[in-house]
Structure 1
Amino acid sequence: MINAKEIYLSYDENRFIIKKGAFHIRPKEFVFIGGASGSGKSTLLKSFYGDIALKHGKLIIDGHDMSSPRSKILRDVRKNIGVIFQDYKLVKEWTIEENIMLPLKINGYSNDVSKQQAIKLLSHVKLSHREGFYPSELSGGEQQRVAVARALAHNPKIIIADEPTGNLDDYSADLVWNLLKNANEQLGITIVVVTHRVPKNFGIAFRQLSIEDGVIYEVC
């Protein structure tokens, strides 16, 4: 599903953030990525959907070689990836249904189909009572649940999440973790999450990677 061989990532030529990155994430796995602030966790996630290019090495995402990503490869990769950001990244001028519809519209679904899926997902994330609301009218936890719904909207094979509960209270964080666990267990979606803290008593099997001094290693 995700296979990295000797990858190097940086924003300039003077300092590599990730060095000799090598790991393999199999289909349907739930994987946490940890490390200190500034260690490169978010940078690594960005490479999965082509937001930062490799300097060296080879990265395969769902069978697609990201070593020299062309526009068509990026489109194909992104069709199968859902992304959840710590700061939600919802379009404030759109209703929450319209935000959820976005990846569906990008992938060519009709407005009617996109709307039906959005309403279904609002129910799934327990926000049907907020239909027609705008992001600014929701709490942080509710906005993150909308972000989870948006990530699920186009039935991705992979969901990558960057500190999805970092700004949330315990109750909202638990809701988000349960949504991600259900997506993994019930839908078979591969989940990759950057977090400073793995939840206790998580309840499902998972693997843990960590980044230290640019090197990625498995936590046993």
Structure 2
Amino acid sequence: MADIITAKNLSLGYERDKPVIKGASFMINTNDFIIITGESGSGKSTLLKSFYGGIDILGGELDVCFYDLNKIATRHLRALRQKLGIVFQDYRLINEWTIEKNVMLPLMIMGYDKNTCKKQSENLLKYVKLGHKIGKYPLELSGGEQQRVAVARAMSHNPQLLLCDEPTGNLDEISSDMVWDFLKAARDSWGACVIVVTHRAPSTLKFDFRHFEIKEGRVIERH
């Protein structure tokens, strides 16, 4: 079982003398499902940002997909991000594009031909039970449907690592359950390591996961 993320004495923050994450050390494996919880402002999203190079490291070491985030070159950061899928709480879909084209976007950026992009998008939208709305635009969908499009988009290029920032924070219980099911499938069917930041792990989850809690800047694994 290989490590996809390794952190050693990692410190993160937006001001050098005020770290949000303090001296964190942990390892995440390629087939893990990780849930990160903590109070608002505890540093959950800060930690998630560090995994895709969205924040500078104040101290310690962080390796993601065998890239050293301490001294990563711009071209290598681009290569790393092609191995990642990211799902945000506010969906971040392009409202002027159909949902089919939104799901195609990562593949288009990576240079795949139009037919490959289209077929993958169609397959994923069917999988998230939106195949019948393929020509619709994001604002024609409910919040839960938009988030399912966002999950499909994040999975379109078969990422090694799927990062999710409060993916069910704005959704009702039924929509939330569907999103959790799709995230589980991302690990079980597509082989992605899944990391989800959320206020608390749902008590209804019927699969194994590792639970990290951020408390006073420390990253603690709960068993």
Match for residue 19 of structure 2 among 3, 16, 21: 16
Residues 1:124 and 2:127 are matched in the alignment: yes
Match of 1:170 in 2: 173
Residues 1:202 and 2:200 are matched in the alignment: no
- Conserved? CA contact 1:53–1:68, under 8 Å: no
Computed over aligned residues only, the root mean square deviation of the Cα atoms, in angstroms, reads 0.9
Structure 1 stretches of 5 or more lacking a match? none
- Conserved? CA contact 2:50–2:57, under 8 Å: yes
Cα deviation 1:3-29 (Å, max 9, x = unaligned): 101111111223111110111101111
Count of residue pairs brought into register by the alignment: 220
Q: Counterpart of 1:130 in structure 2: which amino acid? A: K
Q: Counterpart of 1:181 in structure 2: which amino acid? A: K
Match for residue 141 of structure 1 among 144, 148, 167: 144
Q: Counterpart of 2:43 in structure 1: which amino acid? A: G
Match for residue 88 of structure 1 among 76, 86, 91: 91
Match of 1:215 in 2: 218
In the TM superposition, what is the alpha-carbon distance from 1:76 to its structure 2 partner? 1.5
Q: Counterpart of 1:84 in structure 2: which amino acid? A: V
Match for residue 115 of structure 1 among 114, 118, 122: 118
Match of 1:78 in 2: 81
Match for residue 32 of structure 1 among 20, 35, 39: 35
- Conserved? CA contact 1:9–1:16, under 8 Å: yes
Q: Counterpart of 1:98 in structure 2: which amino acid? A: K
Q: For residue 55 of structure 1, give the secondary structure of its aligned residue in structure 2.
A: strand
Structure 1 distance, partners of 2:77, 2:57, is: 13
Structure 2 stretches of 5 or more lacking a match? none
Q: Please, which moves more after superposition, 141-150 or 123-132?
A: 123-132
Q: Counterpart of 2:42 in structure 1: which amino acid? A: S
- Conserved? CA contact 2:38–2:200, under 8 Å: no
Match for residue 46 of structure 1 among 30, 46, 49: 49
**Runs of 4 or more consecutive aligned structure 1 residues displaced over 2 Å after TM superposition:** none
Match of 1:59 in 2: 62
Identity percentage of aligned residues: 49
TM-score (norm 1): 0.97
